[in-house]
Amino acid sequence: MLRGRDIKRYGYDWAGQWLIYIPWHFPYQFDESITGASEKAEKAFKEQYPAVYNHMLEYKEPLSKRNKAETGIRYEWYAMQRWGAKYWEDFSKPKIIWGEISDKSKFAFDFFGEYIPEATSFYMKGECIEYLLSALNSSVSEWLFSKVGTTTGVGTIRWKKYTIEQLIVAKLSTEQLNTHLAAFNDLKVGKMSITDFECFSNKLMYDVYKLTSDEIQYIENQQTV
C-alpha cells in the first residue's frame, strides 16, 4: 500500500504499509454459485490464510454488527461491505500514480499493482501510459499546470484530477512512441538514470510541441523560480 508521501517522480518508496482487501466470499469470490454468506468460504479462508484470518477474528464482534440486513447474510462477517466488484481488478493493473499536493510534478509508474487508499492520491490507466507518464512529468506540463492548477493556502500546487484533465498532451508518431518505449524500458531495468530519462523526455516534448529555443529557455527558467 502506498501513501501520497511515498510517491516520487518516476518511482516510490514503500514504507512497509499493508492493506487487507477481502471481497465477498473470499477466497471463492469468483464462484458465482455462492449467493450468500458462505461457511465453505470462511473455512477456506481460515485454512489458506490463517494469519490474516486470525487477525480479522480479533475484530469479529464489531465487524458482525455492520449493516445487519447484509452482514452474515449476503456476505461473510469478515468481508468488505462494498468491495468494488465492477472495477477492483483495475487497481492491480500497471498504472500511473500521484499525490495531490506537491511543489513539483511527481508522477510514478506502478508495475506491481499497489493500492492507494488515501483521498489525496490518485491513479490512471489506459493506452500509451509510459509516454503519458513522461508527458506529465515534463517541464512543459509542469509549466502548463502552473497556469491552470490550484494551490493550497500556503502556495503548494494541488495536482487535482479535473485540472490535470486540462493539460494538452501531444500525440506521438509510431516511431516516436517506439523510441520512447525503448528509453522507458532502459529506465525500468536500470540502464538509464532518471536524470538522463528526464532530459530525453523533455527534449521529446520540446520537439513534439515545436518549441523555439527562446520558448524552451523561458519554460526551463520557470522551473528554477
pLDDT at 120: 61
Question: In one letter, which amino acid is 127?
Answer: E
pLDDT digits (tens, 9 = 90+) for 130-166: 999 999 999 998 888 888 777 777 777 788 888 888 8
In DSSP terms, 220 is beta-bridged to: none
**8 A C-beta contact, residue 219 and residue 143:** yes
In the chain, what are the domain boundaries? Answer: 93-223
Biggest CA-to-CA distance, the chain? 70
Q: Which of residues 83 and 182 earns the better pLDDT score?
A: 182
Look at residue 130 and give its three-state secondary structure.
Answer: helix
Q: What is the pLDDT of residue 112?
A: 79
The C-alpha cell 504499509 sits at 17
Give the containing element (helix H, strand E) for 50.
Answer: helix 50-57
Q: What is the DSSP string of 177-222?
A: HHHHHHHHHHHHTTSS-HHHHHHHHHHHHHHHTT--HHHHHHHHHH
What is the mean pLDDT of the segment spanning 27-55? 96
Q: For 101-127, how does the pLDDT look when each residue is reduced to its tens digit (9 = 90+)?
A: 887 888 998 887 887 776 666 777 778
